[in-house]
Amino acid sequence: MPARGLNTPIVYLVFNRPELTARVFARIRDARPAALFVVADGPRPDRPGEAEKCHQVRELIERGIDWPCEMVRDYSEVNLGCGGRVASGITNAFKTVNEAIILEDDCLPDPTFFSFCAELLERYRNEPRVGMISGSHHQLRPLAGRGSYYFCRYGNIWGWATWRRAWQKFDLGMSDWPAWRDAGGVEALFRQKAVRDFWTRIWNEAAAGKYKTWDYQWTYCYLRHGMLGILPNNALIENLGFGRNATHTKGHRDVGATVVPMSFPLRHPSTIEPDFEAEELASARFFSEKPLWLRLVRRFLRMIDRYLNLPVGGRSIT
């Protein structure tokens, strides 16, 4: 059931990849949203040819809008980086809308993704326990016995949606992290020491500005405030961003699942409760601190990949 004449606004995050941008924009164009926020970062001055690629990205979107659409151009002429550009772009959009679907230039949605998000944005609009709707999950395959979707304390940003009420709690600088950490916040969230150690390290480094991204900070935000994510039992997003030109997670990882169109009407869970089995599976795959020797081996293999010019990369999956 692909959406046609979508009433839900879309925030489209783009940068310097015309080919990927065009593929994802074709799906947005088919959905025909009434409002489209195009958030574009500026070129890096030390990257020859990047300014032209940024220009191509913006031009192909400008030329491609052939339906009644309120287009909001949030174009930066300077490079703000992944963290600053995404965070400021989403924040700017929520100054004028109350809810939105958010897509990056390498997250290719199945057409049913838009209807899935639109229906659940409406259903949980006034439910503070729900903080986001994801187009992907962290499993290799569907979890048996689930409905159309399930709740989990982990969300996924490969195509997602949220409300102003949730995003307004977001703080890129994580200013309250030290106090919350020292008051035992991480221990209260997670039972497993390896998971606590992982998130303590990640959030310490994110708060210190080590990562030029925004997703670890967003994960902190919704976990810190007790919000749940909605994840589809079948993936609705194909991530196209694994390759040498990716920004983050430069290493080989088996991520993502086969995209399967959503069936309607949706089968809703009977209660709003986190699926701890799904969370434990995700923690074991991605969010547990690994031994130092294993982290060093992985870092060495990533260096080899880059040296040999192999197709590596992607982005973080929180």
Rounded to two decimals, what is the model's pTM? Answer: 0.88
Rounded alpha-carbon distances, angstroms, from residue 245 to 26, 159, 240, 250, 275: 21, 19, 11, 10, 35
- The per-residue pLDDT for 302 is 65
d(CA 317, CA 137): 9
- The per-residue pLDDT for 252 is 42
Residue 19 burial (CB count, 10 A): 12
- The per-residue pLDDT for 102 is 98
- The per-residue pLDDT for 311 is 38
Stretches where the chain sits below pLDDT 70 are 1-4, 140-145, 242-256, 292-295, 298-299, 302, 305-318
- The per-residue pLDDT for 313 is 35
Give all domains of the chain, ordered by start, each with its CATH number: 10-308 (3.90.550.10)
- The per-residue pLDDT for 306 is 58
d(CA 220, CA 222): 6
d(CA 96, CA 283): 36
